[in-house]
Amino acid sequence: MGPPGSRYKEAHFRMKKKDTSTSKKAKAAHEPRKIKPHRWKRRLLVKVGLVLLVVVALWVVYLDALVRDKFEGKKWSLPAQVFARPLEIYEGRGINPELLEYELKLLNYQLTKVPERQGTYSRQDSQFLIHTRGYDFPDAPQKSLALQFSVTQDRVTALTINGQQDVSALVRLEPYLIGGIYPAQKEDRLLVRLDQVPSSLVSMLLATEDRNFYTHFGIAPLSILRALVANLQAGKAVQGGSTLTQQLVKNFYLTQERSIQRKATEAVMSLLLDAHYEKDEILETYLNEVYLGQAGQREIHGFGMASQFYFAQPLASLELHQSALLVAMVKGASWYNPRRFPERALKRRNLVLDLLAKDGVVSDQAAQAAKAKDLGVTPKPSFSINRFPAFFELVQRQLAQEYQTKDLQTDGLRIFTTLDPQIQHAAEDSLIATLNASKKSKAADLQGSVVVTMAESGDVVALVGGKDPRFDGFNRALDAVRPIGSLIKPVIFLEALRHPEKYALASLLDDEAFFLTFENGETWRPQNYDKKSHGKVPLHEALARSLNLATARLGIELGVPNIIELLHDLGLEKEISPYPSMLLGATNHSPMDMARLYQVFAAGGFRVPLHAVRLVSTHEGAALSRYPFEVRQMVESTSIYLINKALVEVMQEGTGKGVQRWLPESLVVAGKTGTTNDGRDSWFAGFSGDYLGVVWIGKDDNSATGLTGSSGALLVWGRMMGMLPQRPYEATEPPGITQIRVGVADADGELNCEHPRVLPAIEPLASGLPLCDQQRSGSWLQRLFN
């Protein structure tokens, strides 16, 4: 033991030491705890990793939703396809061999010595051999057939089908694709199902683009690595590692941007697509999505549309060498364009065939036979955008009454129209030839339009909107509203003949000068074209010679409001001012309006709506809208019979007789010329037993043309009708009609019955008729007892 002092110091020291330790703990409790640097970094990385994981997860969820939404929804905006009528061939059908060959060429049928393949034909004088293509019409599919027939006097004779004669058979060729109603992105495709695609095409596609398509899970890492090595060795991109699934994702969902981010997105979306959907569904979508060409501003997508675009054939009917060419173009549709770079395309196609033979899909012999064939593409695309713009506009206007523009641009509807390409061609050529041949006016300034319909049904079979039929601009057939001149006269004479107690074809009209003075002091003085008066003239002759004075007097006697009412009944919807000048055609209407008006004459007094659309179906072929034949009688059969007889006389003896130079003698036609003041407008409307045609010629600035209806529009109509096989106009005499013999007045107004004329008339007869052979007015019963 030490001294007391030392013990005290020791104890004090221990206490002090203890207090120091306690104060340090207390101080530490109030100071922030220091974390070692490596622990802080590790925790930060964990947090960042968790955030990135969440971001990636959200990104994948977003991509998954994007993949599902588009793939399970409406994949594409499909343009509506607008077709002409299908060409029907049957025993006895009227056909012009030159126009038939024109349509075959329009459909891209190839002229060969022996037409063994679909889409080929041969011609030896009037004998045709045609190997048709199949086509899925909405009502029934038409198989590919081998036709042989002759054209004798513009009629199909000796028709055989696949070597067998069948006089009752009717064969339809595929309809010409006029154009489409396209969405904003201008993509065109024709959807096909996987079972509609030739198996050889699928095998070629997989052999060249993705051999392991059915075994990988959307991406092929080994292929990507192999392509990376090859590209590094070559110093440039020489090989791709993308699977078909990746190609589909790039084209279907993404842009063509080249970046790591886009490539990563493509890979993830490919994995998701493969995880969600069957391989066949992915492959089918690829077959409809892949880009295979360009037609102006319109992109050709999918093998179905490419088959039509390059071969004018359905995909299912392609031969081995044709399928190989389409597969070859997958690598670069522009680079291997067979129309621009045929040698390059041929080399690539043959490589595809070699790969197919190497994989044992086809024999070496089949591959060599396919390689020996040429590319087989049509010289031009099988269709262009809206080849017939005037008619196409009419179709769009009629569709707009029932369908929204969006539906027409995106739902892939198939629209079957009434257009007859042969008649359209005849109308275009006739208008251009007449305008170019005009010597009374500068052809460069003249314009014109043509409307042709079926006389009985109202089908619009041809429509020309101007002298440049390919120009998609002002449509004169629909929108050129001009004075109609003498085209109104048959309506006035029809109104008179509807009152048989007062008027008949033989009734004498007064063709003397007169004038009317109106309340404002203005005077109206009509005059004839020859500036002369002709005294008493039979009604039928006044129409045949298109006499203005007789017509105006008759119209005033009948009453202008009554004439206007009849015009509305016959189909003119536009408001017409009730001035006497309208009796001589001072009322403005379009060629389409005149077609609507004269359709009633051509249809024997029945009003038939003019229409350009027959059927609208889905792209699968289900019918959506049909447009059945509609008819309503507007004029009594007796009255229309008489006026049409007078219109036949116009063409045989009157202002329309010049047409006889173009038509065969056996073709009876009816019609009326029309000319407006100073020859500003040249009109003609006429019909046969099959067709009604309306022609207008004039200038857009409304200046004089120097043409009359006879020297202008009639020539177009005559040229056109002379090219078309058709039936003559024949009207069945209705009950209530009798034949009368009338005399001709001489210069002194005396009745001359030496050479009487036989005319039809409605019983009981009107009074005051210049009858011969003791015939008098009244009923047959009255005449019997008189």
What torsion do the CA atoms of 291, 294, 297, 299 make, to the nearest 10 degrees?
Answer: -20
Comparing 649 with 211, which gets the higher pLDDT?
A: 649
Encoded tokens for 681: 């407008």
Q: Confidence band (pLDDT; 50, 70, 90) for 385?
A: low
* Nearest Cα to Cα of residue 482 among 708, 697, 712: 697
Burial of 514 (C-beta count, 10 Å sphere; 0-12/13-18/19+): middle
* Nearest Cα to Cα of residue 500 among 643, 639, 640: 639
Task: Give phi and psi for 193, each to the nearest 5.
Answer: -85, 160
* Nearest Cα to Cα of residue 391 among 457, 481, 477, 482: 477
Please determine, for residue 785, whether its predicted confidence score (pLDDT) is greater than 90.
no
Strands 155-161 and 146-152: antiparallel
CA distance 375 to 345: 8
Please determine, for residue 363, whether its predicted confidence score (pLDDT) is greater than 80.
yes
Comparing 231 with 649, which gets the higher pLDDT?
A: 649
Angle at 398 between CA 393 and CA 402, to 5 degrees: 135
Tell me: the pLDDT tens digits for 504-523?
999 999 999 999 998 888 99
Q: Confidence band (pLDDT; 50, 70, 90) for 53?
A: confident
CA distance 627 to 417: 10
Please determine, for residue 428, whether its predicted confidence score (pLDDT) is greater than 80.
yes
Tell me: the pLDDT tens digits for 525-576?
999 999 999 999 999 999 999 999 999 999 999 999 999 999 999 999 999 9
Q: Confidence band (pLDDT; 50, 70, 90) for 13?
A: very low
Comparing 144 with 745, which gets the higher pLDDT?
A: 144
Comparing 175 with 222, which gets the higher pLDDT?
A: 175
Task: Give the residues across from 187 on adjacent strands.
Answer: 299
Q: Are 672 and 656 in contact (CB under 8 A)?
A: yes
Encoded tokens for 778: 């009244």
Which residue is associated with the tokens 């072929």? 621
Annotated active-site residue in 103, 209, 284, 428: 209
DSSP category for residue 521: S
Which residue is associated with the tokens 């009708």? 721
Tell me: the pLDDT tens digits for 437-455?
875 555 568 999 999 999 9
Annotated active-site residue in 441, 486, 507, 546: 486
Check residue 2 and give its pLDDT.
47
CA distance 353 to 366: 9
Mean pLDDT computed over 411-424: 95
Tell me: the pLDDT tens digits for 705-716?
989 999 999 999
SS3 (DSSP) at 482:
strand
* Nearest Cα to Cα of residue 315 among 673, 776, 325, 74: 325
Check residue 8 and give its pLDDT.
43
Encoded tokens for 504: 């008949």
Check residue 270 and give its pLDDT.
86
Mean pLDDT computed over 370-392: 84
Check residue 238 and give its pLDDT.
46
Q: Are 454 and 461 in contact (CB under 8 A)?
A: yes
Task: Give the residues across from 299 on adjacent strands.
Answer: 187, 294
Burial of 363 (C-beta count, 10 Å sphere; 0-12/13-18/19+): exposed
Active site residue 486: yes
Mean pLDDT computed over 75-84: 87
Q: Confidence band (pLDDT; 50, 70, 90) for 224?
A: low
Angle at 668 between CA 666 and CA 674, to 5 degrees: 140
Check residue 54 and give its pLDDT.
77
Please determine, for residue 65, whether its predicted confidence score (pLDDT) is greater than 80.
no
Strands 187-189 and 298-301: parallel
Q: Confidence band (pLDDT; 50, 70, 90) for 74?
A: low
Which residue is associated with the tokens 């004998």? 127
Q: Are 675 and 695 in contact (CB under 8 A)?
A: no
Q: Confidence band (pLDDT; 50, 70, 90) for 222?
A: confident
CA distance 491 to 560: 12
SS3 (DSSP) at 262:
helix
Check residue 7 and give its pLDDT.
47
Tell me: the pLDDT tens digits for 620-643?
888 898 887 789 999 999 999 999
Q: What does the mean pLDDT of the chain come to?
A: 87
Task: Give phi and psi for 351, each to the nearest 5.
Answer: -65, -40
Encoded tokens for 174: 């595929």
Mean pLDDT computed over 456-473: 94
Which whole-number Å values give the CA distances from 196 to 193, 475, 664, in the listed order? 5, 41, 49
Q: What percent of the chain has pLDDT over 90?
A: 62
CA distance 233 to 706: 78
Check residue 697 and give its pLDDT.
97
CA distance 729 to 721: 13
Q: Confidence band (pLDDT; 50, 70, 90) for 384?
A: low
CA distance 113 to 79: 38
* Nearest Cα to Cα of residue 475 among 388, 374, 579: 388
DSSP category for residue 411: B
* Nearest Cα to Cα of residue 488 among 649, 672, 666, 306: 672
Check residue 38 and give its pLDDT.
67
Comparing 270 with 40, which gets the higher pLDDT?
A: 270
Q: Confidence band (pLDDT; 50, 70, 90) for 16?
A: very low
Active site residue 91: no
Tell me: the pLDDT tens digits for 316-355?
888 999 999 999 999 999 999 999 999 999 999 999 999 8
Lowest mean pLDDT among 68-82, 107-121, 273-287, 770-784: 770-784
CA distance 224 to 230: 10
Check residue 11 and give its pLDDT.
45
Please determine, for residue 4, whether its predicted confidence score (pLDDT) is greater than 80.
no
